[in-house]
Amino acid sequence: MMSADDIKRLCRKVKSASRELALTDTKTKDRVLIAMSKALIKRASYIVRENERDLASAKRKGLSPAYLDRLRLTVSGISGMAKSLSVIARFKDPVGEVIETLRRPNGLLIKKVRVPIGVILIIYEARPNVTGDCIGLCLKSSNALILRGGSEALNSNIAIFDILNDVAVKNGLPANSIAMIRDTDRRIVKQLLESDSLIDLVIPRGGESLIREVTKTSRIPVIKHYKGVCHTYVDRSADLKMAENICFNAKVQRPGVCNAMETMLVHRKVAKKFLSRMIKRFSDSGVEIRGDAETRRIAPYIKRAVENDWYTEYLGLILSVKVVTDIDEAIAHIMKYGSYHSDAIVTGNKKNAGKFLDEVDSACVYVNCSTRFTDGAQFGKGAEMGISTDKLHARGPMGLEELTSYKYVIYGTGQVRR
Amino acid sequence: MMSADDIKRLCRKVKSASRELALTDTKTKDRVLIAMSKALIKRASYIVRENERDLASAKRKGLSPAYLDRLRLTVSGISGMAKSLSVIARFKDPVGEVIETLRRPNGLLIKKVRVPIGVILIIYEARPNVTGDCIGLCLKSSNALILRGGSEALNSNIAIFDILNDVAVKNGLPANSIAMIRDTDRRIVKQLLESDSLIDLVIPRGGESLIREVTKTSRIPVIKHYKGVCHTYVDRSADLKMAENICFNAKVQRPGVCNAMETMLVHRKVAKKFLSRMIKRFSDSGVEIRGDAETRRIAPYIKRAVENDWYTEYLGLILSVKVVTDIDEAIAHIMKYGSYHSDAIVTGNKKNAGKFLDEVDSACVYVNCSTRFTDGAQFGKGAEMGISTDKLHARGPMGLEELTSYKYVIYGTGQVRR
């Protein structure tokens, strides 16, 4: 195992690189990103082979299809990662942007200027494509990065990291601007999380136990990327054909991800008409429905939902369904059982839409569209570091801007305080 | 002592109030703030009497003059607090502001809308005027607030809180929008810091041990308001008369606060000329100087600075002074010993100014003015919740905007993800 000293030494090197990286010009950073993008394409078959080793061992361990879906890297997935890097290269450099300028009555000129955060630690599970996206976003925003991936994706992560790090160093980025912890011993995470003088931000992406552990242990600020128990509420006044398409998309198009719908809420006045068609369509596509008593009166053949279902992120083809008396009951349900990630209402009533948007306290609230849009690229951010379920600093999809802090730069001509 | 159940019950009430408060209109909030401002003026002599009880007991305990300065509330201090509340009332309501609007190619309309954070816990030491400012800023930004003041200021804090809470409830704010923990047992803080499902943000304002304890224990996001070891660097090309006024102001005008200068760095080419006048002026005003070897060659009668001096926030009339070879040594010193709060350069050289502003990684970096300007009111924010020394979410003076989060509101017409 890496010793505490090894870890401290590594973190110090990355911290020191972060100071240099903060002063690196946009041209150098963009050149590196383009070279990284090309290197991924060139080495795609190597990455796929390493990924196949991870997949084989995950299958042996009996991990779920949703898990394997998140772990899998195809050649087209790798092109996607490469494309993200070249898209990030074309994005405007956020560092140095003047966010606000203020002239005070005493003549002081105050500028609020965007700066990098410093050193970011990302702790993630499966999903090796996260490796490329995070490296690209962090370097473009001049943040140094320490990656701690899950043991299941270790070979894939190492393959991607080694290719990208090699390109970074050869193209003039400070050595140790990115680092990967290859030792999968869990005690290392604890030591990293206590290094609050060397690491500025921790982003954990993953399941409940990971998030809990990080939140409890960390002395470093944390932005949680937690589960998505996403809801769609079909209101009394909804266009039911539209509602059907939205709900079907939110559940079925890619069920293994955090912005997929887990619970569907339906107003009782339209429940019978809507659910009889909708449940059939879901069942035809292999979705298992778990309903409350009212839903089971309409479709007696489906399973009963138990209390725990309402809290569950299935990440697969299962859906819980509840019939509600009105919009207030729908909102109360979402606030009680949801994870404040992404929730949608389908309605033809403007007042109800407004009420839902105001009162549902989630990162993303939708009217008349699928929750699947919660995504950095869909929001025009190029790529994403993940989706924050926290309220501090960044909420929802995190792109380049969300990876920056700011400083106040004040220009005087001899002013003193009276 | 309050039991764990008492604390949980209190936090639940505040959480529930925060939901209502988030939907409270601007007019109601402003009416409350104006009424609060008037009530403080009306009850000023009562508050002063309660404050005198705290002062008497602090004196008996032998607390320092700087401490007593921060603890003292005069009638004019209370008018200041009252004025802050009426200024906050006139500020624009940050809640509901559309920060960004985006139309996507698929027709989705995405709005990034400012929302309150939720429930904020502030843990502070002396300074009872913090009570009024924090209540004003939190209510205006629709955040519920739990106050945990230091035992030394308990009578003052209770007096202010009771007056303001009475006004809030009578003028139609949800009950329990603000709460004060009157039990000063330290174990209560630990329990509060573990209530991450009920409290959204903790702001600790105070000394090293408080900040360390909070950072270590908290599962709730923390924005630290830590010490200010602020520097002024007098460059070779500085206008020395200007430098003298700036340094004198930064040290002497109000030495007991976090934005006062603690260390002065002087380029060796101007050290003799500058320091012989400057040290005399400081000594005449009762400032004790602690110098490095070079400074003591110029002024042999002053004390020797030891390693620990460079890390120290004196909060009083003591100043450490060091002669440096060049701007690089000055920056390296600040980055090693400083607290990343506020640092200034006095220079006539544009290139050096730019280098200092880029490379000193502090919340506020100044050219040719006093560090004492790091302050919410001075920055045009009306009042401040404090000065963040963190890089996440908010940095430097925290006003209304810094007390908000945001949500994405997405309007569709049936869009689904392809």
Give the count of domains, chain A.
2
Q: Using the structure block, give the residue that is written with the tokens 């604390």.
A: B7
pLDDT of residue A374: 97
> Are A251 and A325 within one domain?
yes
Q: Are residues A315 and A401 in the same domain?
A: no
CB contact under 8 A, A410 and B219: no
pLDDT band at B82 (very low <50, low <70, confident <90, very high): very high
* A270 domain-assigned: yes
Asked if B407 and A239 come within 8 Å (Cβ–Cβ), the reply is no
**A157 and A235 assigned to the same domain:** no
A129: pLDDT strictly greater than 90: no
| Same domain assignment for residues A137 and A189 | yes
Q: What pLDDT is recorded for position A415?
A: 98
In this structure, the answer to whether residues B66 and B205 fall within a common structural domain is yes
In sequence order, which residues have a C-beta less than 8 Å from that of residue A327 and are 6 or more positions away? A233, A235, A267, A345, A352, A355, A356
Whether pLDDT at A126 is above 80: no
The reply to whether A271 and A317 lie within a common domain is: yes
DSSP A210-226: HHHHHHHH-SS-B--B-
H or E element in which residue B240 lies: helix B240-252
Domain shared by B8 and B45, yes or no: yes
Contact B365 A223 (CB under 8 A): no
SS3 labels along B112-159: EEEEECCEEEEEECCCCHHHHHHHHHHHHCCCEEEEECCHHHHHHHHH
* CA B409 to the chain's CA centroid: 32
| Cβ <8 Å between B368 and A413 | yes
Q: What is the pLDDT of residues A334-372, one digit of tens each?
A: 999 999 999 999 999 999 999 999 999 999 999 999 999
For residue A382, pLDDT over 80 is answered with: no
For A394, the closest chain B residue by CA position comes to B393
Q: Which of A373, A389, A402 to mutate to test the interface with B (most CBs of B within 10 A)?
A: A373
Cβ separation A393–B396 shorter than 8 A: no
Q: What is the mean pLDDT of residues A240-267?
A: 96
Full domain range(s) for residue B186: 4-226+389-411
Closest CA to A411 of B49, B369, B325: B369
Are the beta carbons of A249 and B23 separated by less than 8 Å? Answer: no
Q: For residues B235 and B368, give the distance between their C-alpha atoms in angstroms, rounded to a whole number.
A: 10
Q: How close A119 comes to chain B (CA, Å)? A: 11
Residues A185 and A298 in one domain: no
Q: Which of A337, A409, A411, A418 should one mutate to test binding to chain B, selecting the residue with the greatest count of B CBs within 10 A? A: A409
Contact at CB, B415 and A378, closer than 8 angstroms: no
Verify whether the Cβ–Cβ distance A392 to B405 is below 8 Å. Answer: yes
Confidence label for B373 from pLDDT (cuts 50, 70 and 90): very high
Q: How many CB pairs under 8 A join A and B?
A: 188
In this predicted model, what pLDDT tens digit does every residue of B228-281 receive, in sequence order? 999 999 999 999 999 999 999 999 999 988 999 999 999 999 999 999 999 999
Whether A318 and A263 have beta carbons less than 8 Å apart is answered as no
Q: Inter-chain contact B22–A361, Cβ cutoff 8 Å?
A: yes
Cβ neighbours of A115 in B, within 8 Å: 361
DSSP per residue over A289-354, as a string?
A: EEE-HHHHHHSTTSEEPPGGGGG----SSEEEEEEESSHHHHHHHHHHH--SSEEEEE-S-HHHHH
For residue A391, which residues of chain B lie inside 8 Å, CB to CB? 117-118, 200-201, 221, 405
Alpha-carbon distances of B1 from B14, B126, B182, B199, rounded to whole Å = 20, 22, 10, 21
The whole-angstrom separation of Cα A224 and Cα A222 is: 6
A367 CB neighbours in chain B (<8 A) are 410-412
Q: Per-residue b/e over A226-248, b at no fewer than 16 CB within 10 Å? A: bbbbbbbbbbbbbbeebbbbbbb
Residue B382 has pLDDT above 80, yes or no: no
Q: Considering the domain boundaries, does residue A201 fall inside one?
A: yes
Residues A195 and A281 in one domain: no
ipTM score:
0.94
Q: Does one domain contain both B217 and B245?
A: no
Residue of A nearest to B361 (CA): A407
**Whole-number percent of chain B with pLDDT over 90:** 90
Interchain pair A417, B378: CB under 8 A = yes
* Nearest one of B365, B125, B123, B81 to B256, comparing CA atoms: B125
With CA atoms as reference, the chain A residue closest to B377 would be A104
Q: Which helix (H) or strand (E) holds B162?
A: helix B154-170
pLDDT of residue B208: 82
Confidence label for A34 from pLDDT (cuts 50, 70 and 90): very high
Name the token pair of B8. 């949980």
Closest-CA distance of chain B to residue A23, Å: 8
Q: A120 and A178: one domain?
A: yes
Confidence of residue A375 (pLDDT cuts 50, 70, 90): very high
pLDDT at A214 over 90: yes
* Chain B residues near residue A390 by CB distance under 8 angstroms: 221
Determine which of A204-208, A213-217, B47-51 has the lowest per-residue pLDDT on average: A204-208
Question: Do A146 and A239 share a structural domain?
Answer: no
Question: Given B361, B366, B413, which is nearest A368 (Cβ)?
Answer: B413
Q: Which amino acid makes up residue B205?
A: R
| pLDDT exceeds 90 at position B381 | no
Roughly what angle, to the nearest 10 degrees, separates helices B26-42 and B75-90?
Answer: 170
Residue B87 has a pLDDT of 93
CA-to-CA separations, A273 to A279, A287, A297, B97, B402, in angstroms, rounded: 11, 19, 13, 39, 47
> A416: which chain B residues are within 8 Å (Cβ-Cβ)?
245-246, 248-250, 253, 369-370, 372
* Residue B392 to residue A200, Cβ atoms within 8 A: yes
Do B85 and B36 touch, CB atoms closer than 8 A?
Answer: yes
Tell me, yes or no, whether A360 lies in a domain.
yes
CATH of the domain at A84: 3.40.605.10
